[in-house]
Amino acid sequence: MAFKNLLLEITRGVAVLTLNRPRVLNAMDQETLDELDRAFSELFADEAVRAIVLTGAGEKSFAAGGDISGLLKLDPLAARRLALQVQKTFAAIEKGPKPVIAAVNGFALGGGCELALCCDIRLASEMASFGQPEINIGILPGFGGSQRLPRLVGKGRAKEMLFTGDRIDAVEAFRIGLVNRVVPADQLLIEARRLAEKMAAKGRVALQLNKQAVENGLEMDFDRACAYEAELFALAFATDDQKEGMSAFLEKRPPRFTDR
């Protein structure tokens, strides 16, 4: 895969995808958004990739949002097309078959915060900060932030961030549940890789079923979601990995999953 604004490294089943526009704090222009869509589509289809880490180049920023100079030129119809396009890309990341870990190394603002929100897990360096500052330029989030943020941190906290446009630091982001953990800056990618490799060692089918259970189940009422979980639970019992995993547990040995 060749990209202009992304870097890609694949090691031991883990892909590290890096937004690579540090001179503009990894702000996402149309070309970068198109490349993100293509990159995730190809990584999800690549059998050699079992987990993905997403981060930003440089020490200052994960992604500082959208390219404002480009947004300024949009009319209402073009703005709607852009929002729907990026929402589709971010939904594909959120619902994709493999775990995606955001390693947030600095600013995650506007569209950058929305990108982190659509990942499965968020690790933050001590230097990270988060915010949806769109209200400061007369708009609102358009890439899913007004919907994912309250689902993650609760309606009241989300409204405060959305209505004020204020940033929060990594410690506050952890306190309200926006990130899973905070780590020293020099350990961020090490920890993200370690977590990704731990997930990559699991059976691919069970990992995908677990992700589907959470992502799809949250869109249902509780009773329907539990019935859906039961269907996925039953489906897992049709796999070789279920038999191998249980046999290995009883035999007190590591399982040898074959993704079948």
The answer to whether the CB of 162 falls within 8 A of the CB of 131 is: no
Task: Kindly name the residue from 9, 47, 94, 114 that is annotated as catalytic.
Answer: 114
Query: How far is Cα 84 from Cα 40, in angstroms, rounded to an integer?
Result: 17
The answer to whether the CB of 101 falls within 8 A of the CB of 62 is: no
The three-state DSSP-derived secondary structure of 43-69 is HHHCCCCCEEEEEECCCCEEECCECHH
Task: Kindly name the residue from 59, 94, 126, 134 that is annotated as catalytic.
Answer: 134
For residue 16, report the phi and psi dihedrals to the nearest 5 degrees: -110, 115
Q: Is residue 134 annotated as a catalytic residue, yes or no?
A: yes
Rg of the chain over CA atoms, in angstroms?
19
The answer to whether the CB of 150 falls within 8 A of the CB of 138 is: no
Q: Is residue 251 annotated as a catalytic residue, yes or no?
A: no
Residues classed as catalytic: 114, 134
